[in-house]
């Protein structure tokens, strides 16, 4: 029942300490949080660990383009889907997220 991991990169289910609810969708969330940091230059969540855990549980973070408007909206959409609050709204597997990023690159991203 404890939250395990780096708070700013853990999924809401991990932040709640609901380890039974974790799975591939939790890994997708963490990769989305990493993509968020790569896009914006900062973590989606910042502050004391207890505040970060609360914000992660609630899904309270600024959209990447609110921090850096030059981010391609299509890539922001990939990031936001990966970081969806509801696990069923995320990519089903890490490979599906990687495929989406590769598709964006093939279409002229960056």
**Are residues 23 and 91 in contact, defined by beta-carbon separation less than 8 angstroms?**
no
Q: Which of 16-25, 67-76, 85-94, 98-107 has the weakest average pLDDT?
A: 16-25
Predicted confidence at residue 43, as pLDDT, reads 96
Q: Is 102 exposed, middle or buried (0-12, 13-18, 19+ CB in 10 A)?
A: exposed
Confidence of residue 18 (pLDDT cuts 50, 70, 90): confident
Tokens of 98: 């990687």
Instruction: Evaluate if residue 48 carries a pLDDT over 80.
Output: yes
Tokens of 65: 């383009």
The pTM assigned to this predicted structure is: 0.91
Tokens of 74: 């299509």
Instruction: Evaluate if residue 70 carries a pLDDT over 80.
Output: yes
């Amino acid at each position: 029942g404890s939250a395990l991991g780096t708070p700013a990169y853990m999924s809401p289910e991990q932040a709640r300490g609901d380890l039974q609810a974790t799975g591939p969708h939790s890994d997708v969330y963490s990769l989305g949080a990493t993509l968020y940091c790569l896009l914006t230059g900062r973590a989606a969540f910042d502050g004391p660990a207890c505040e970060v855990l609360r914000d992660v549980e609630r899904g309270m973070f600024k959209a990447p383009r609110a921090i850096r408007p030059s981010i391609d909206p299509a890539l922001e959409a990939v990031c936001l889907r990966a970081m969806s609050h509801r696990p069923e709204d995320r990519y089903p597997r890490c490979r599906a997220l990687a495929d989406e990023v590769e598709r964006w690159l093939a279409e002229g991203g960056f």
